[in-house]
Amino acid sequence: MTPDPLCDRLATDVDEAFPELVVANQDLVFGVALRVVRDAHTAEDVAQEAFVRAYRALRRYPDQQVRELRLRPWLARIALNAARNEVRARHSHLDIDETAATVAEQSDGPLRLAERNDEQRMWRRLLAQLPDRYRLAVALRYIDDLSYPELAETLGRPLGTVKSDVHRGTALLRAAYDAEQRAQGGAQEAAS
């Protein structure tokens, strides 16, 4: 494992290097929180709590431990735990994922933008219907771009289990998408 220069700076001076850690990982931490709590406002609060926990931990850890951290999975794990704690505290059922929509290229017209938005809503809805185990694994792998080892570390599961969860989750997504396409095709045929 090659040393992370940011980890070296954090080990030397947490206060000076911590803002860089936040900027470099805020999307990851927010994304993990959002996939668990399913509300953007709450996810912001959870992300802030995760960074506070990370800061406190970095202040307590010995320098060598900070230098050896794998920051992305470590932060994702902190965010995941903070989000799960929030869900437990609220005792609420998770709503459909409300992640931000993609910004269309300027050359795209309103029709293409509407199609893209419809497609994104469909994929978010299909992803939201997966059991949590598969939804989290697929989202962290393909949306947050965690590697399989990072994913295993984040979720606290063996590498083979994580690979299996991602595979099963994508298979379930594919089956749900195919079923949706067949249903839309049947509805179009009935309308004509």
pLDDT at 99 over 80: no
Q: Which residue has the tokens 């850690």?
A: 21
Question: Greatest CA separation found in the chain?
Answer: 70
pLDDT tens-digit map of 4-60: 899 999 999 999 999 999 999 999 999 999 988 888 999 999 999 999 999 999 999
Closest among 25, 57, 61, 31 to 44, alpha carbons compared: 31
pTM of the model as a whole: 0.67
What pLDDT does 189 receive? 64
DSSP labels, 121-190: HHHHHHHHHS-HHHHHHHIIIIIS---HHHHHHHHT--HHHHHHHHHHHHHHHHHHHHHHHHHHHHHHHH
State how far the Cα of 21 lies from the Cα of 34, in Å rounded to an integer.
19
pLDDT at 181 over 90: no
Closest among 72, 63, 95 to 24, alpha carbons compared: 72
Greater pLDDT, 44 or 126:
44
State how far the Cα of 165 lies from the Cα of 78, in Å rounded to an integer.
21
Closest among 117, 116, 134, 115 to 173, alpha carbons compared: 134
Kindly indicate the confidence band of residue 1, based on its pLDDT and cuts at 50, 70 and 90. low
In the structure encoding, which two tokens stand for residue 62, read together?
A: 């010995």
In the structure encoding, which two tokens stand for residue 94, read together?
A: 């998770």
- Secondary structure of residue 43 in the 3-state scheme: helix
Element (H, E) at 46: helix 40-60
Domains and CATH numbers, the chain: 1-95 (1.10.1740.10)
Q: Mean pLDDT over residues 115-132, rounded?
A: 80
Phi-psi region of 33 (alpha: psi -120 to 50; beta: other; left: phi over 0): alpha
